[in-house]
Structures are given as C-alpha cells and as structure tokens.
Amino acid sequence: MTDSPSSDTPANGPPGLPQPWFPPSAGPGGLGQPAPPVGPGQDIAPPGSGPPGYGQPGYGQPGYGQPGYGQGPSQPGNGEPGYGQAGNGPPAGQPGPGPRYGASAPKPGVIPLRPLGVGEILDGAFASIRRNPRTILGISAVIITISAIVSTTLSLTLLNLAGGVNLPQPGQQMTTRQAEHLIGQLAAAVLPALAVALLLTIIVQAILAGLLAPIIARGVAGQQITAGQAWRAAAPRLPSLLLATLLVLLISLGPAAIVALIMLAASAASAPAAVYVAVGLPGVPAAVVLGIWFSTMLSLVTPVVVLEEAGARRALARSWRLVRRSFWRIFGILLLAGLIVVIAGAILQLPFTFIGSLVSSGGGFSAGTIIAVVGAIAAGTVTRPITAGVTVLLYVDLRMRKEGLDLALRTAAGSGQAGPGDFASVWRPPADGPAPAGGLPAPGAPPTAAGAPPPW
C-alpha cells in the first residue's frame, strides 16, 4: 500500500514519484518512521529501497542503509562499510563513518585521528622529526654516540684478540687439527664480541624508542615536550622496558637456540651426517619463521611499557593481543620501514666511509676509525628515530582501529591537556575489552582529566 501524492504536493521524493507507506513507529528513529523531507542537494532513494536514513540511527548521513548485495528491499543496511561514503552500512558493533572515519578527520598533530594507511604511518614518523627536531635528534644523538663509543671499544678489543691468533701464512698448508684449532680461536674471540654487539644494539634501540615514545605520542595530539620532560616520563619505565626487551629477544631466538643445542649435542656424540640433515633441514627454516613471528607479535612492547605504564609480562601479552589478526600488515610495515632505514643510513654513511678508507690507506688507521664512527653516529641519529616513530604510530593505529583511541585523542587535543599525568590517562587501556558500538565508554573505564569517562 502506498500514498501517491499529486505532482504539486510537497513530499519526500520528486513530483509524481510514489512514496512507500510505513506503519507508525513507537518512537523516533524506528523503522516505521516516515522519512524526513529531502533538502536541496540530498540523495533521493529509488523506489522500493527504503526511506533515506534507513540504516542505524545517529550516523548523520542520508541514504546510509541501501539494500545489500542481492538482498531485497526488506533487508536494508547490508552494504560494505564505506568509511565516509554515503549509501554503505557500517559493520555490526562498529562505529559508522562520518566524523570518525571520514576524510574530514581532524589532524591536530602528525597524523589524522582515524585508522591510518601505510603512507600515513611513514609520513607521520618523518613529520615527528620535522616538528620537534631539537628534542628527537638531540636524544638520538646522545644515545647513538654512547652506543658508538662502546661498539668501537668492543671492535678494538676484538682486533687485539684476533692479533694473538696464529693465522696461516699465504700458501701454507694446514692440517685438520690446525684448522680446528684456528676456528676455535676465532670463535672464542669473535662470537662473544658479536653477541655483545647485537645485544647492545637491541638495548640501545629499545632505550631510544622508549625515550622517543612520549614525544611522538604528544606529537599525535599536536603537542610538544622537551628532552627533559621526555626523560622524566620514560626514565621510571626503563627497567621494565629493558626486561621486556630481553624477554622478546629470548623468545624470538629460542627456536634457533634449540636447533643449535641439538646440533651441538649431535656433534659431541659424533652423530652421522644424516642426523644433521634430519635436524637442520626442517629445523632451521622453522626457527627462522618462528623467530620472525614472535618478534612481530611482540613488536609493540616499547610503547605499551612507556605509554600504558605496563610491566614486562603484561606488555608482552598486550602487544600480542593488539597485533593479533594484523600480523601481515604489521610485519610488512616494519619490514618496509627497516629497508628505508638501512638504505638511508648507508647513503648517509657513504661519504664518511669513503673518506675514512682514504685516510686509512695513508697509514692513519685511528683517524679512519674515528671518521667511520662519526659517520655511524650521524646516520644513526637521523635514521633510528624513524624506526621508533613507526613502532609508536603502529601502536596508535591498532588502538584506534580496535579500541577507539582516536576519540580520546580528539578530546585531549581539543582540551589542550599538557600535564604528564593528564595526558597519561589518555593511553590507559580499556578496562573491559574493546570499545562498544558508537564509541560509548566501557563500564569501569578510568575517567579522563576533564572528568568524563574516556571514549573507549
């Protein structure tokens, strides 16, 4: 049954277009509510597709629930979620498009406050450095300089130890016993130094990322802090951060260590070659895959420890939950950022390496080493913050996607919160799981500085 107004009677459609009749609704916004008048420039629903605004109420877009794929007019609202596009319905239990996910999302700082794309994450990492270069590059220069001095001292010690190794003369034939002795000497001198250098690199990167996390987090909300403020915010979290970093390292290298121990045990037992093949052929690839998987799943422990003030064990579990179902995306972005950092660092260090080689060829070994160290410091100062920025922004992106952090950040950016305690409340995780539909606060969620519960 339809009401068919005359062509000169104002209605919800163009003149002469039959309008469907709906039974009266018990309240506003019900399915039986007549459609509001169509204003200038608004879309007009085709006959039989339901009235405008037939999707979920409150999204503020006309025509938001058009019939889904292959569905009749009696089942509206089955379209794909089209962030910011009219005529597409939101997924169940998720906030709809419009102010949160639309193209007009606010950008008070280095990123727009909505789920991010790959380019926006990389651009945000670079923008963080451009907006606060003195603080970020200053902290990076101090940390990288200390690391370079320790690494150089370790390298010189390695050279001194290698100087006592009886290397064979050119053309000298070595027996099997002599070769085994030489390999043992080199392993005793090189492997411990390499292990310490790797551990030092990982610890330095973790400390640098921890110190830069508050700076980049403030930059997301359009705020800036000094190096002293960043230190005061991150310093109490450094013990937990170092413990979490060591746990991630042990978990990631655990499969490889198990394979190596089995190989050593087989060597000590003088096992035949078939045992090495049977263990190494499936064991080595499996160890590599598991190491990559564990390191990616636990890659967000640094921002969790620093921004959420979590302990080491809780940070591991929290990172795992955030990255879950987003492994390939996180792995791809981290791999891309790592390639960018390696290539940019090599380009920045190339002139210093060339000059150092010229100086070394003239007999100035110490001068060449110093030049190479200066190049490593310059390259690391510029490139290491990029990795830290990408890690923090990945954390922010996942929380905006899963927990509605963008809404809390909008409140913080709009209210101009500047106190460290006030801003720390924005990063508190939801107390009762993911954010409910519509961005409503979860029961028992901690209040924000303004007194209202955060929009988790």
| 10-35: average pLDDT | 44
Answer whether 425's CB lies under 8 Å from 446's CB: yes
Token pair of 254 as six digits: 């655990």
pLDDT per residue as tens digits for the range 361-380:
544 456 777 888 888 899 99
Residue in this structure with the two tokens 């924005």, named with its chain if needed: 426
Task: Specify the range with the lowest mean pLDDT, choosing from 200-204, 207-211, 336-340, 346-350.
Answer: 200-204
Dist CA 53 CA 407 (whole Å): 24
Give me the domain span that covers residue 196.
120-165+178-403
Q: Which comes out higher in pLDDT, residue 12 or 265? A: 265
Dist CA 90 CA 437 (whole Å): 10
Cβ count near 117 (within 10 Å):
12
pLDDT band at 423 (very low <50, low <70, confident <90, very high): low
At residue 384, the 3 state secondary structure works out as helix
Is a pLDDT exceeding 60 seen at residue 310? yes
Q: What's 237's DSSP letter?
A: G
Half-sphere exposure of residue 269: CA atoms within 13 angstroms, side-chain side:
11
pLDDT band at 426 (very low <50, low <70, confident <90, very high): confident
User: pLDDT above 70 covers what percent of the chain?
Assistant: 61
pLDDT band at 446 (very low <50, low <70, confident <90, very high): very low
For position 33, what pLDDT does the model report? Answer: 44
Q: Which residues face 76 on adjacent strands?
A: 67
Residue in this structure with the two tokens 């926006």, named with its chain if needed: 120
At residue 6, the 3 state secondary structure works out as coil
Do the strands 2-3 and 19-20 form a parallel or antiparallel pair, or are they unpaired? antiparallel
Answer whether 96's CB lies under 8 Å from 59's CB: yes
- Which residues make Cβ contacts (< 8 Å) with residue 137, sequence separation at least 6? 129, 381, 382, 385
Asked if residue 277 belongs to a domain, the reply is yes
Answer whether 64's CB lies under 8 Å from 86's CB: yes
For position 14, what pLDDT does the model report? Answer: 44
For position 161, what pLDDT does the model report? Answer: 64
pLDDT per residue as tens digits for the range 210-263:
999 999 998 898 888 888 999 998 999 999 999 999 999 999 999 999 998 998
| 415-434: average pLDDT | 61
pLDDT per residue as tens digits for the range 158-179:
667 655 555 566 666 666 776 7
Dist CA 317 CA 308 (whole Å): 13
For position 15, what pLDDT does the model report? Answer: 45
Dist CA 340 CA 345 (whole Å): 8
Average pLDDT of the chain, as a whole number: 73
Q: What angle do CA 88, 78, 63 make, to 5 degrees?
A: 40
Q: 12, exposed or middle or buried, with CB in 10 Å at 0-12, 13-18, 19+?
A: middle
Asked if residue 254 belongs to a domain, the reply is yes
Is a pLDDT exceeding 70 seen at residue 108? yes
- Which residues make Cβ contacts (< 8 Å) with residue 185, sequence separation at least 6? 165, 166
Of 48, 44, 26, the residue nearest 36 (C-alpha) = 44
Asked if residue 422 belongs to a domain, the reply is no
Asked if residue 233 belongs to a domain, the reply is yes
Q: What angle do CA 94, 223, 143 make, to 5 degrees?
A: 105
For position 41, what pLDDT does the model report? Answer: 42
Asked if residue 4 belongs to a domain, the reply is no
Is a pLDDT exceeding 90 seen at residue 358? no
Is a pLDDT exceeding 80 seen at residue 275? yes
Task: Specify the range with the lowest mean pLDDT, choosing from 50-64, 246-260, 308-322.
Answer: 50-64
For position 105, what pLDDT does the model report? Answer: 81
Dist CA 368 CA 376 (whole Å): 12
The structural domain count of the chain equals 1
For position 390, what pLDDT does the model report? Answer: 95
If phi over 0 gives left and psi between -120 and 50 gives alpha, with beta otherwise, what is residue 102? beta
Of 398, 396, 456, 404, the residue nearest 100 (C-alpha) = 404
| pTM for the structure as a whole | 0.68
| 172-197: average pLDDT | 70
Task: Specify the range with the lowest mean pLDDT, choosing from 46-50, 112-116, 283-287, 450-454.
Answer: 450-454
Residue in this structure with the two tokens 């169940």, named with its chain if needed: 92
Q: What's 67's DSSP letter?
A: B
